[in-house]
Amino acid sequence: MNKVNLDLENYRKLLKQYMITQDEKALYQAEQFTKLSMQHNISPEEIVNVHIQALKEIYPDLPKEIDDSMSFLLEAMISYGLAYQEFQSLREKQLELKSEISVAANMQQTLLSTVKPSIRGLDIGATSIPANQMSGDYYHFVKDNEDTLGIAIADVIGKGVPAALSMSMIKYSMDSFPLSQRNPSAILENLNRVVERNVDPSMFITMFYGLYDPKTSVFQYSSAGHEPGFYYNAKMDKFDEIKAKGLVLGVSNDTVYQQYELEINKGDMIILLTDGVTECRLADRFIERDEVLDVIKKFTHLPAQEAVEQVYKYFERLQDFQLRDDFTLIIIKKDV
Amino acid sequence: MDFQSCVKINREWDIVGARQIGREHAKKIGFGTVDQARIATAISELARNIYLYADTGKICFEIINEIDRKGLWILAVDNGPGIADISQVMEDGFSTSGGLGAGLPGVKRLMDQFDIISETGKGTEIRTVKWVRK
Ligand SMILES: Nc1ncnc2c1ncn2[C@@H]1O[C@H](COP(=O)(O)OP(=O)(O)OP(=O)(O)O)[C@@H](O)[C@H]1O
Ligand SMILES: [Mg+2]
């Protein structure tokens, strides 16, 4: 308890100085004293006690009423001291949790990492930014030796750690499917069974799977309740929604998914996204899908990767740099 | 152990009585004002829990006089419902007052030693000690 004694000496000096001069300097030093005390986990009741001691030393004939009232104050401070200590310990715990989550987030990034493939004639851009540390969005590219490109994009309804855990499961089930099985509808049907068996019924996963074959220039796709993307038809200079019907994953184990196809020509574009993009929240309302498309259009003249990054930056600013949902955007342009 | 003095807790005002006796012991042993106030607060928490959750019980005091140190031993005993998950109630932030630092984790912080023995349906015994700072 040497520390407190030492501080008492200091406190008494400051108090005395203040009593005589009432100057600001003593008050500034008192502020420094309090900060130092807090660093040493000194509770408020101990400060009050130091004050009483100092007061008695400066005024040996302190009226009894004042003395009693100071004891009363000390008693009243005990609970504040306890709350302060609890706050300290909770803060330490929170830091621990934060660092644990950041380790998990790093693991998730490694687990879910995907390589953007280079496919003859395609310019691909992709970005995925989590709202919090861990993401409930996911995208993945699969390229096989015949140069076909598989694209998966998925979104767990829900955020944070549970969403992130289910995403890792999706990724691993997909990896376990044979490469020969590349039909979008079949892939969704298989995943649907995995999700139905393994994921809590309160958790929903939406997913879009597309398969592009450069030999035929045909893009086949199926959707499990996923946010519709956009298709740009260069010849007609027109954007359309990529509409596809299908139930979200995990609702019933025998869901069948319809498969659709599009022919992609030179200059055409496919834009895939999650609802973190379309449900971008402005101060007082959600953004309209048309507005989202208008923003995307502003940047599609850029190379695909630059375009997705610029769109993200635009929305990030629009939302005051506080994403409320995970944001994933993929743009695929056909160059030749 | 034969306790020097016990205070029965039957009504809310008995909490005040327990604090009073506890403070007198603390003064006698030589605790400073801050520690006296801490001991009184710990007694309040223990006695309030008896009053709220067990209806009745008692708080007992014993002065510890060892060759090289002195202390106050406080025991809170009741035959109430007991505490099923002690680890849980000792977690910060669990108490119903939530995040105000009081409750049993607060008692543990206020005192130097702290122990709970409790069986559901039988009762709870909390033993806690504070040593005089030298
Ligand atoms: N003597 C007891 N007998 C039975 N249950 C008890 C007893 N003491 C505490 N408990 C249980 O442990 C819980 C935690 O007690 P604690 O004193 O830490 O917090 P609290 O009483 O809920 O809130 P407060 O912060 O106001 O004290 C209580 O809610 C009660 O369920
Ligand atoms: Mg309590």
What pLDDT does residue B99 have?
A: 58
Q: Which DSSP symbol is given to A19?
A: H
Point out the ligand 1 atom lying closest to the alpha carbon of residue B54.
Answer: 3
- CA A126 to mean position of chain CA atoms: 17
Q: A15-25, pLDDT tens digit by residue?
A: 999 988 998 89
What pLDDT does residue A6 have?
A: 54
A181 vs A316, higher pLDDT: A316
| Across A293-302, average pLDDT | 92
Q: A211-231, pLDDT tens digit by residue?
A: 999 999 999 999 999 999 999
Cβ of B53 less than 6 Å from ligand 1: yes
| Across A100-113, average pLDDT | 88
- Quote the ligand 1 centre to A336 CA distance (angstroms): 73
Chain B CB contacts of A75 under 8 Å are 37, 40
pLDDT at A304 over 60: yes
A155 min Cα distance to partner chain B (Å):
34
Q: How far apart are CA A246 and CA A262, in angstroms?
A: 17
What pLDDT does residue A165 have?
A: 83
Asked whether B31 and B72 are in contact (CB, 8 A), the reply is yes
CATH 3.90.1300.10, domain B5-131, yes or no: no
For Cα atoms B44, B49, B55, give the angle at the middle one, nearest 5 degrees. Answer: 120
Point out the ligand 1 atom lying closest to the alpha carbon of residue B100.
Answer: 25
Tokens describing residue A197: 């068996």
A2 pLDDT band (50/70/90 cuts)?
very low
Chain A CB contacts of B110 under 8 Å are 78, 82
Give the SS3 label for residue A56. helix
Q: How far apart are CA A275 and CA A148, in angstroms?
A: 27
| Across A264-277, average pLDDT | 92
Cβ of B26 less than 6 Å from ligand 1: no
B120 sits in the region (left: phi over 0; alpha: psi -120 to 50; else beta) called beta
Q: What is the ipTM of this complex?
A: 0.83
Average pLDDT, chain B: 92
Q: How far apart are CA B61 and CA A125, in angstroms?
A: 74
pLDDT at A301 over 90: yes
Q: What is the pTM of this model?
A: 0.71
Share of chain A above pLDDT 70, in %: 96
What pLDDT does residue A34 have?
A: 87
B110 pLDDT band (50/70/90 cuts)?
very high
Q: What are phi and psi of B54, to 5 degrees?
A: -115, 0
Spell out the domain ranges in chain B.
5-131
What pLDDT does residue B93 have?
A: 77
pLDDT at A83 over 50: yes
Q: What are phi and psi of A321, to 5 degrees?
A: 60, 25
CA atoms within 13 A on the CB side of A308: 22
Question: Which residues have C-beta within 8 Å of that of residue A189, sequence separation ≥ 6?
Answer: A255, A256, A257
Chain A CB contacts of B109 under 8 Å are 82, 85-86
Cβ of B89 less than 6 Å from ligand 1: yes
Average pLDDT, chain A: 89
| Across A324-336, average pLDDT | 90
| Across A207-212, average pLDDT | 96
Cβ of B104 less than 6 Å from ligand 1: yes
CA atoms within 13 A on the CB side of B33: 19
Q: How far apart are CA A322 and CA A266, in angstroms?
A: 37
pLDDT at A68 over 50: yes
Point out the ligand 1 atom lying closest to the alpha carbon of residue B98.
Answer: 25
Using an 8 Å CB-CB cutoff, list residues of chain B that contact chain A.
Answer: 32-34, 37-38, 40-41, 92-93, 99-102, 105-106, 109-110, 133
A281 vs A193, higher pLDDT: A193
Question: Which residues have C-beta within 8 Å of that of residue A158, sequence separation ≥ 6?
Answer: A136, A203, A204
Q: Which residue of chain B comes nearest to A86, CA vs CA?
A: B101
Domains in chain A, start-ordered, CATH in brackets? 3-92 (1.10.1240.30), 114-334 (3.60.40.10)
pLDDT at B35 over 60: yes
User: Smallest Cβ distance to B37: which of A45, A83, A86?
Assistant: A45
pLDDT at A93 over 80: yes
Provide the residues around ligand 2 (an ion) whose CB is within 5 A.
B 49, 103
Q: How far apart are CA A321 and CA A323, in angstroms?
A: 6
Count of beta carbons in the 10 Å neighbourhood of residue A202 = 8
pLDDT at B20 over 90: yes
Longest dimension (CA), chain B: 41
Q: A127-159, pLDDT tens digit by residue?
A: 999 888 888 889 999 887 778 899 999 998 876
